[in-house]
Amino acid sequence: MAHASKLFEKNFIEYASYVIRDRAIPELEDGFKPVQRRIIHSLIEMDDGRFQKVANVVGHTMRYHPHGDASINDALVNLANCDLLIDHQGNFGNELTGDGAAAGRYIECRLLPIARKILYSPEITQYEESYDGRHKEPVVFPAKVPIVLIQGATGIAVGMRTDILPHNFYEVIDAEEAALRGETVPLYPDFSTGGIVDVSGYDDGCGFVTVRARLDVSDPKKIVITELPYGVTSEQMIASIVEADKKGKLHIAKVTDFTTDKANIEIALQRNTYTNDIVDALYAYTKCETKIAVNPVVIVDGLPKIVPVTEMIRYHAHHLKDVLTAELQVERAHLEDKIHARTLERIFIEERIYKRIETKKTAEDVNKAVVTGFKPFASELYRPLADDDVERLLKIPIRRISLFDIEKNRKDIEELNAGIEKVDYNLSHIEEYATAFLEDIRSSIDPGRWKRRSEISSFQSLDARDVAVRNLELRYDEATGYMGTALKTGEVLLKVSPYDKVFYMRKDGAYRVVNVSDREFIGTEGLYYYALADKDELSKVVFTAIYKEKESKFYFLNRFTISSFTTNKLYSILPKGNYKLVKLATFPSAVITAKYKTGYGYKVLEETFRFSDFAVRKSPQTVGYKLITKALQSLTLRQTKETRAAQDEPTLFDGLSEGEKGDDDET
């Protein structure tokens, strides 16, 4: 078992490492996964300026990629649709509708010139053997711009994933130029599908963005979606709208999809529903607003690493200087080789060294004669004479010797020396040279092709609760004691949404806040007061309770507001002890008339009190003011005239009628 466990651990680690490095996660240096790199390498090898059948490119790429043609075909289509490195013609699918590409035998592609500019430099590229050892493929391209940021990347590996959003080509170039100057500029995503993007949570590529569809709301009875959020197809968008409509979140008459190369989804509204009423609901309940998480995992020095956008730009600014330096050094070596060759040729012909070989009988004697002839001129050479140099000189045809133009030779050497001086200048001013290179790359791209498509804005993400339509009837059936939206009997209390909370107070003084549900038992005591559980609004309601202590038979009055509560917790307005509720009211002002029993020696048999005589407390749980200590015959509660006129809340029920008497034992 121990051996099997170690074998499993070893194999799993090897498999995980393979998937991470060779399948799913892109390299930071060139922005490619292995299959993408092999496709570009194949296109470079096949490039003749003409379009190639995608099927042919896939077949060529299979020399390097050991995982079948389907993955190659899909990767090639995705690369081509990025419109950066590959030119294509034919049906390569539609990211707006979600339609796939045509078969590889029907569509064509070719490498764009910019791909060679920013990727192809074989003399400084490290190559390795392909999986079968028959061919050579690049380990990584010496990319001069951060392709991983321009194209974006998505991949799922073992225990990790990468999600890098695409960015605008020009803005990436600007950021790289700024990094060359030691500056930092903010860089935000740009999507080919357009839309409106809130980047407040982007966190330098390590957070998230919120993307909204662009809506045309010029017609009050019709909404047109003209741009889709990134990653959302028109089919998915329509499905989300229809689903929200079925749940009663929207009031849609018809949805029609006219999307082709541009998004065009028309939403016709129901009667008595207008554009302004439904826009927020579209963002809250449908895919008109989506949140996209970002996780910039890339391969750096053979290991996966989270690299923020700013760090990627900074890395590529340094990398660009290194690549250009290496290319300039290679160019300088080539120029030196040409000067050396022309100098050898001039001396060989001008000093008539070729005459020395005419009498020689063997190849060895011929080579010695040439080497001996160049000894007096060693100081004029760039480097010592080599066997390859001798071989090249001996291959010069006699016609070329006879027509040799020494002035032209001298002029060529001067031009080559000027080239070396220019290379040396660029090497000593590498940042200036790198900036000029980026400007040249920028000018080689059609400005209209990389115009920013996504508008950067700031908007508060809408919660479905905030825009929920209150179209459900909340009922209470006193006979059964149930309250809910699924009841068919009882009184309709309120119009609510599934996200609402409801406050209710029973006639026995118990109160609670509950979530809206289909059916919930709350008691058969009857309701005195109910409302949506908005703390701000609820705290404005002043409750007045009159209750009796059963032992002393004293009456107490408490005026209070309710500004805090815990959902689903049952409270009581009565203090702890043996108390019984007599009357409840929500009148802002009223007059209480108390008539006392005769025969007890009371000098005053009737008293009146006003609500305004008692202060309003912030909690109902405190013992109220002592109101009556005498034997009571009757208790009457009447609103004042001004209060009665102001009463405009028909849903409030005080449970009293004017002239109502007290309890039976006091009558």
Is residue 106 part of the annotated active site? The answer reads yes
Q: Are strands 543-549 and 579-585 parallel, antiparallel or unpaired?
A: antiparallel
Q: Are strands 455-457 and 196-198 parallel, antiparallel or unpaired?
A: parallel
Concatenating the DSSP letter of every residue in 280-299 gives HHHHHHSTTEEEEE-B-EEE
Contact 281, 469 (CB under 8 A): yes
DSSP annotation of 23 reads I
Q: How far apart are CA 122 and CA 102, in angstroms?
A: 33
Q: How far apart are CA 55 and CA 367, in angstroms?
A: 53
- The pair of structure tokens assigned to 224 is 């047109």
Spell out the alpha helix ranges (H) of 136-233. 147-151, 169-180
Q: How far apart are CA 645 and CA 522, in angstroms?
A: 33
Return left, alpha or beta for 362; rule: phi > 0 is left, psi -120 to 50 is alpha, else beta: beta
**AA letter at 7:** L
Task: List the catalytic residue out of 15, 18, 64, 106.
Answer: 106
455-458 contacts at long range (C-beta below 8 A, 24 or more positions apart): 455/194, 455/195, 455/196, 455/197, 455/214, 456/188, 456/197, 456/198, 456/199, 457/196, 457/197, 457/198, 458/198, 458/200
CB atoms closer than 10 angstroms to residue 411: 11
Contact 90, 63 (CB under 8 A): no
Element (H, E) at 59: helix 54-61
- The pair of structure tokens assigned to 531 is 């409302």
Helix (H, G, I), strand (E, B) or coil at 432: helix
Block residue for tokens 């389907």: 70
3-state SS of the chain: helix, strand, coil percent to 5? 35, 25, 40
- The pair of structure tokens assigned to 621 is 């749980």
Helix (H, G, I), strand (E, B) or coil at 44: helix
Q: How far apart are CA 26 and CA 148, in angstroms?
A: 8
Rg (CA), the chain: 43
561-567 contacts at long range (C-beta below 8 A, 24 or more positions apart): 561/616, 561/617, 561/618, 562/503, 562/511, 562/538, 562/620, 563/535, 563/538, 563/539, 563/618, 564/535, 565/503, 565/512, 565/513, 565/533, 565/535, 566/513, 567/501, 567/513, 567/514, 567/515, 567/533
Q: Are strands 265-269 and 289-293 parallel, antiparallel or unpaired?
A: unpaired
DSSP annotation of 220 reads T
Active-site amino acid positions: 106
